[in-house]
Chain A
Amino acid sequence: MDPIVRIREYQRDRVNFVLENVDLAFANSLRRVMMADLPTVAIDLVEIETNTTVLPDEFISHRLGMIPLVSTNCDAAMRYTRDCNCLENCAFCSIVLTLNVTCTDAVTMDVTSNHLEIQPHPNEGTEEAGEEQVRRSDTFGMPVGKKEADVDPILICKIRKGQELKLRCVAKKGIAKEHAKWSPCSAVAFEYDPHNKLRHTSYWYETDEKAEWPLGQNAREEEPPREDEPFDFNAKPNKFYFDVETDGSLGAQEVVMKGIAELQKKLASLVLALRRVRNGENEMDVPTSGDQTFGDQPVAGSGGEATWGSGPASSWGSSPGSGGGSSWGNNNYGSGGNTTGTWGSSPQGSANAWSSPSNAGWGSPSAQANGWNV
């Protein structure tokens, strides 16, 4: 049974959909991965030069970290600092923003995210602009909504006449498992069984359960239980209601598509690792896992599909043993970097990701050798 998806509402920063014919664990994994495993950019280091505002430095630093920055296509457009071959941070793995505001009028002034300006990295130009920079959109790393008049900026601090705030921020790529500021989602609503037919919960009530627990919108999607209906012990949840709301750093569509791709990546790395254990091969001989190839693809648009092929459902699902084996290219293990064809349907693109020298330093040797980095 294939999963069924129905999008009920779709806006730039939120998508509401119903997912059917999947397992509870599967739906929950999708929710978890969207919240915690997608890379975005967020301010990570703050160097404060002058702060005569009423707020202490750490207070302002924390606020700066929470500001969503445009992170479209972040997995391909930026490196993790830990995977980068620079000493501290460089144009490949960081974005520098500055803020320099002084209040000279006799009015309370708002310091907002719109005052943050992207600066060219001091080391920029010493190296050639890499593939990462090419993949960045022109607003990449900017506070969300800076260029849009209808979006209110985020208030950082209020200053009065004579007060000044001058600082330099270094934004880095990360995931929300490290710090929640890197989460692309501000909220993911997740509901199933709105009538509580499965009795996965019990409602506390004072006098009347029905009156005190009104049904939500999602209850309209399902038949209410009859009064005399016996409890079905074997029933399993099958229909899940999602509402993915992003903070603007990634679009709602990108979050969902990247979430699916990220789950596939996790599973793929596990399959590779299992095969490696079975073949008893030396781990260090094995080329990188597929994630570079994944990251190499453009945004959700063409990337994900191309990577996994257009008709994979049948080949993966029906005969997992043999079908899986062949399409994964198990013979290519440890034979160097020429496993390209098995992963991407665009051999050029993936060939670069695997072996071209211009790409050196994309990922530390360890992270690649392990073939597992998240």
Chain B
Amino acid sequence: MNAPNRYELFVLDEGEAPVEINEDTKIPNAATIKILKQDHTLGNMLRAQLLSMPEVLFAGYKVPHPLHPHFLLKIQTDGTKTPDVILSDACNRLIGTLSSLEGNFKREFAFKEADSSGAAGTAGGTFTTTDDPYGTGAGSGGGASWGNRDDYLDF
């Protein structure tokens, strides 16, 4: 009864900031960025994009606890850009890649005509309503085996 709402795993609370930036006090040009209500989907993608950028010396992410819906992204840069700037750059590049991917998909889908023969359900056909697994013949039309016995009815 006192369980938190399940959507709190992916919706920000009222007034909650989606990111927190903690600059590292001992390492130059480094910051740990806490991104709330996001998970590996975003974290791993950002980490990989950051590592592919020449300005980045270090990038890593972790989800500190699987029940806490946030991840930490640690970034150290070479000093030409601050970690939060490099993170927005990484996001923008990923958005660019995604839009180009989207264009490619759109073109490919336009080429492929939907094959209507692939209707859901017909391919599997593992159960049909006329199945008679017990071989009683009562499956779809029989029913004679017990149909007239009143004691069987559980009114």
Contacts and interface: CB of A to CB of B under 8 A. Distances in A.
Contact of A32 (B41, B100, B109, B119): B41
Given A152-B129, A260-B102, A175 B91 contact: no
A152 B15 contact: no
Contact of B103 (A12, A19, A107, A313): A313
A155 B106 contact: no
A358 B89 CA distance: 36
* Most B C-beta atoms less than 10 A away, residue of A14, A110, A274: A274
B151 to A, nearest CB: 12
B139 interface: yes
B154 to A, nearest CB: 7
B99 A313 contact: yes
A321 interface: yes
A267 B42 contact: yes
Contacts of B98: 260, 263-264, 267, 308
Contacts of B104: 2-5
B41 A271 contact: no
Nearest to B73: A270
Interface in A241-265: 247-248, 253, 256-257, 260-261, 263-264
Interface string B86-105: 01110111111111111111
Interface in A359-374: 365-367, 369-374
* Most A C-beta atoms less than 10 A away, residue of B40, B102, B122, B127: B102
Interface in A77-120: 80, 82, 105-108, 110, 112
Contacts of B93: 316-317, 320
A179 interface: yes
Interface in B107-144: 108-109, 111-122, 125, 127-129, 138-143
Contact of A5 (B41, B84, B108, B140): B108
B10 A366 contact: no
B64 interface: no
B120 A3 contact: no
A166 interface: no
Given A155-B129, A266-B42, A177 B91 contact: no
A248 B143 contact: no
Interface string A293-325: 000000010001100111011111100110110
* Most B C-beta atoms less than 10 A away, residue of A36, A105, A107: A107
A277 B21 contact: yes
A274 B86 CA distance: 11
A244 B3 CA distance: 34
B143 A105 contact: yes
Contacts of B17: 273, 277, 283
B147 A270 contact: no
A130 interface: no
B143 A106 contact: yes
B153 A161 contact: yes
B9 A151 contact: no
B62 interface: no
A257 B102 contact: yes
Contact of A372 (B37, B109, B127, B143): B37
B9 A177 contact: yes
A215 interface: no
Top-4 shortest CB links A-B? A11-B118, A316-B96, A106-B147, A25-B48
27 contacts: A2-B101, A4-B104, A5-B101, A5-B104, A6-B108, A7-B112, A11-B118, A12-B115, A12-B119, A23-B52, A25-B44, A33-B41, A106-B143, A150-B119, A152-B121, A177-B9, A178-B10, A247-B120, A253-B109, A257-B106, A260-B105, A268-B91, A277-B17, A310-B103, A312-B99, A315-B96, A370-B14
Given A267-B91, A312-B95, 18 more contacts: A12-B116, A12-B118, A22-B97, A80-B7, A106-B143, A145-B120, A151-B119, A179-B6, A247-B120, A248-B120, A257-B102, A263-B45, A264-B95, A308-B99, A312-B100, A313-B97, A324-B92, A370-B16
